[in-house]
């Protein structure tokens, strides 16, 4: 079998998705052209976008769990056509699920977004006891979809979601222009949205604040009232003089 890192996927307006092997055989010679297409899948609509989900195992310092998913060691493929997403096992050509979305018009862009849990920073910055380094192995997998209706929608896309047959909708935003492309920065902190009118919009994700940082900010605000407020004007009014002559 071929290593998934030597595979290329392509989608077409003829509704098909093809998986190609671009590797070499054991003798180091190129594989014959007629042998390069490993599988053909049919989305059922013109394919507008494809997204590869790398295996969860081996990502972000992942550690196997007792309730590990059967898909954790597999690369998965997401195809978008019409207003429907389909998820495939590209190694076998098997469709793992069909997922309708709330888009009113054609989905034109897909993007992978791996975010840390929203509770506290300590939950996803874990320290490796052997190396002493922090790793991000509690991140949650999301799929972003963008369409000609100007909608950007964020769906939960963990392997458990895929097995259950649902990609829960988490958040969305409406733009005034049809969307043609999506991209995420390497640190997952910024999302760039391209529109059909040539405008690019960048969204910045808010930074997580730990409880300690929150307390420090509150203490700072108590000590230093904001300039121009009544508290700033009245600061020191109730303080007792330390002058021994008073």
Is residue 9 within 8 A of residue 17, CB to CB? The reply is yes
10 Å CB burial of residue 79 (0-12, 13-18, 19+) is: buried
Where is pLDDT greater, at 17 or 239?
A: 17
- Please choose, from the candidates 99, 245, 89, the residue with its C-alpha nearest in 3D space to the C-alpha of residue 167: 99
Pairwise pLDDT comparison (206 vs 98), residue with the higher score: 98
For 160-186, give one letter per residue: b (16+ CB within 10 A) or e. ebbeeeebeeeeeeeeeebbbbbebee
If pLDDT is split at 50, 70 and 90, which confidence band does 123 have?
very low
Q: Would you state the pLDDT for residue 138?
A: 45
Q: Residue 57's pLDDT is what?
A: 64
pTM score, whole prediction: 0.68
Q: Which of 67-76, 89-98, 137-146 has maximum average pLDDT?
A: 89-98
């Amino acid at each position: 079998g071929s290593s998934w890192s030597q595979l290329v996927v392509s989608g077409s307006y003829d509704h098909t998705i093809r998986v190609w092997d671009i590797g070499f055989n054991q003798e180091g010679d190129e594989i014959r052209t007629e042998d390069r297409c490993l599988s053909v899948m049919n989305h059922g609509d013109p394919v507008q976008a494809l997204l590869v989900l790398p295996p969860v195992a081996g990502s972000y310092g992942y550690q196997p769990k007792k309730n590990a998913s059967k898909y954790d060691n597999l690369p998965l493929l997401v195809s978008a056509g019409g207003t429907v997403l389909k998820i495939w096992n590209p190694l076998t050509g098997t469709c793992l699920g069909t997922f309708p979305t709330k888009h009113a018009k054609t989905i034109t862009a897909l993007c992978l977004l791996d975010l840390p849990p929203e509770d506290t920073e300590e939950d996803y910055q874990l320290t490796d006891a052997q190396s002493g380094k922090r790793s991000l192995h509690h991140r949650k997998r999301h799929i972003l979809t963008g369409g000609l209706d100007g909608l950007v929608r964020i769906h939960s896309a963990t392997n458990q979601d895929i097995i259950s047959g649902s990609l829960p909708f988490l958040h969305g935003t409406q733009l005034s222009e049809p969307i043609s492309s999506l991209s995420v920065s390497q640190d997952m902190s910024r999302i760039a949205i391209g529109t059909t009118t040539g405008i690019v919009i960048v969204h910045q994700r808010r930074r997580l604040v730990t409880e300690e940082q929150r307390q420090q900010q509150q203490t700072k605000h108590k000590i230093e009232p904001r300039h121009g407020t009544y508290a700033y004007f009245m600061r020191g009014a109730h303080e007792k003089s330390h002058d021994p002559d008073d």
